[in-house]
A = this chain, B = another copy of it.
Amino acid sequence: MPNTDMTMEASLKDLSGYYQTIPMAQAMQLEVVGFAGDRLRMRAPLAPNINDKGCAFGGSLTSLLTIAGWSLATLELARAGFEADVFVADSTIRYLAPLYDDLEVEAWLAEDESWEGFIGMFRQRGKARCQIHARAGLPQGGDATTLQGRFVALARQAKP
């Protein structure tokens, strides 16, 4: 796990504290699994995220995918020494197959972008955007749901 160092461990703990301030994140019982290569993995149990058909509720899938993307951008900024406000600007979600199991998702930077470019832009302008992809996997392989989202980071304004 080349991306996991002590700074990253601390940032992952910060994130867990952050999720606890969001009632819906708590209700979903989501948690960070860690990095697999450059992909951030998160999960949530099926039981609190189930729908009437016995599979994962679409709102939970979308929420978890979006939070995974948001967390990835936030962690990359933290790794570079920045605290920033990160927002999701837009996203496209495809629900490909029902998921009758725990929600396991991963998020990664779009292939044609680089964290160096994103961080460089943020350092220069106090603002940067990136495109993140995320997927919820099926236990037998393949995708249950995919997300492509644009995230924006803004430098925190100094408090007066």
Copies of this protein in the assembly total: 2
Residues in B neighbouring A57, C-beta threshold 8 A:
22-25, 63
Is A95 part of the contact surface with B, judged by Cβ < 8 Å? yes
Residues in B neighbouring A60, C-beta threshold 8 A:
24, 59, 63
What is the CA–CA distance of A59 and B149 in the complex, to the nearest angstrom? 13
Residues in B neighbouring A67, C-beta threshold 8 A:
59
Is A87 part of the contact surface with B, judged by Cβ < 8 Å? yes
Q: For window 83-101 of chain A, which residues contact chain B by CB distance below 8 Å?
A: 85, 87-95
Tally of chain A residues near chain B (CB < 8 A): 34
What is the CA–CA distance of A159 and B62 in the complex, to the nearest angstrom? 31
Residues in B neighbouring A94, C-beta threshold 8 A:
89-90
What is the CA–CA distance of A12 and B22 in the complex, to the nearest angstrom? 30
Assess whether B24 is in contact with A48, with CB atoms less than 8 Å apart. yes
Is A27 part of the contact surface with B, judged by Cβ < 8 Å? yes
- Which partner residue on chain B sits nearest A17 by CB separation? B52
- Nearest first, the 8 A-B pairs at minimum CB distance are A59-B63, A27-B27, A21-B52, A90-B94, A92-B92, A62-B62, A23-B48, A91-B93
